Chain A
Amino acid sequence: EPEVTQTPSHQVTQMGQEVILRCVPISNHLYFYWYRQILGQKVEFLVSFYNNEISEKSEIFDDQFSVERPDGSNFTLKIRSTKLEDSAMYFCASSPYDRVGGNTIYFGEGSWLTVV
């Protein structure tokens, strides 16, 4: 079964450093997403991406975050200057275009980011 893959599975970085989290969405999907989950808290939506541009973003997704689809297969989340509070599990997800409603979103296993 096709799946969303994410790398790295775990990254430790120093506060203030830039981090890039990488994802390979399911190949025929058109919508791509990033979510995060701080330890012990809810899964939170960050951003959705379609047709090479951001479709929607949450209040969490401020100027220190950016997303990119640099080629036909990868989807990346960049955090420019990491803060301690960015420590979280980051989930990439993808979905096909939904012509009817109620489309399914497929999530990766996550990248655990620890900022020290």
Chain B
Amino acid sequence: DAKTTQPNSMESNEEEPVHLPCNHSTISGTDYIHWYRQLPSQGPEYVIHGLTSNVNNRMASLAIAEDRKSSTLILHRATLRDAAVYYCILRVYSGGGADGLTFGKGTHLIIQP
């Protein structure tokens, strides 16, 4: 998987929006942008993914730059439960899903009450 760059940590206040950035300047045309998060003492959890267009789901929104060299995960209204490490991962579609995810250090999101 191609490399991504994320800030080590970010802090936000409860009930405010959070924008988590990710740079992936070496992304190729077939790389999907995935976001996972890991709450304390739990396994990673899927958040959202996209290829070219912006994506929304019940958990978050994903804004993808036009050149695809960066993306932003948006939590519209952060709660204390959103405090976690957020991972931005590029994934090549290799047919079926055999390839594993390559996790970086991610961004440690701290939510203040």
A residues at B contact (CB < 8 Å): 4, 30-31, 33, 35, 42-48, 50, 55-56, 58, 91, 93, 95-98, 100-110
Additional pairs, 17, CB under 8 Å, beyond known A30-B96, A50-B97, A110-B42: A4-B43, A30-B97, A35-B44, A42-B104, A44-B103, A48-B97, A50-B96, A93-B44, A98-B96, A98-B97, A101-B30, A101-B93, A105-B97, A105-B101, A109-B42, A109-B43, A110-B43
CB-CB under 8 A for A42 and B99, given A101-B93, A104-B49 = no
Name B's A-contacting residues (CB within 8 A). 30, 32, 34, 38, 42-46, 49-51, 87, 91, 93, 95-105
Contacts of B95 in A (CB 8 A): 98
- Among B32, B96, B101, the most chain A Cβ lie within 10 Å of the Cβ of B96
Interface of A is mostly: strand
- Distance in Å: Cβ of B57 to nearest Cβ of chain A: 11
Residues of chain A within 8 A of B43, CB atoms compared: 4, 91, 93, 107-110
**Alpha-carbon distance A96/B46, docked complex (angstroms):** 14
Please list the 4 inter-chain residue pairs (A to B) with the smallest Cβ-Cβ separation, ordered nearest first: A45-B100, A101-B93, A55-B98, A107-B43
